[in-house]
Amino acid sequence: SYELTQPPSVSVSPGQTAWITCSGHTLPKQYAHWYQQKPGQAPVLVIYKDSERPSGIPERFSGSSSGTTVTLTISGVQAEDEADYFCQSTDSSGNYHVFGTGTKVTVL
């Protein structure tokens, strides 16, 4: 089965930059999307199609893609950004969708 790999955790001080990576062999050909999930809440879309930001999402959230790795960048991290982050993409057939393993972002 297709897998997307993320680091389990990232720690960052307020005001600094957090980078969260997601690796998968179909990412050069398929878009990746990112979700933020806070405890007890449903996920929220923060980046779609590798680098597009939905309306209402702060500009400090950005996305990029390079080969088999996509990256979510949170610039000027704030305490409210502490959450789990999941990438998501589609397999090569386009019929199956998969989420990454998830990264817990801790704001020190």
Compute the chain's Rg from CA coordinates: 13
CB of 15 to another protein, least distance (A): 29
Judge contact between 87 and 70, C-beta under 8 A.
yes
**Residue with Cβ nearer another protein (53 or 60):** 53
Judge contact between 74 and 60, C-beta under 8 A.
yes
**Residue with Cβ nearer another protein (79 or 93):** 93
Binding site for another protein (CB under 8 A): 1, 30-31, 33, 35, 37, 42-45, 48-49, 54, 86, 88-90, 93-102
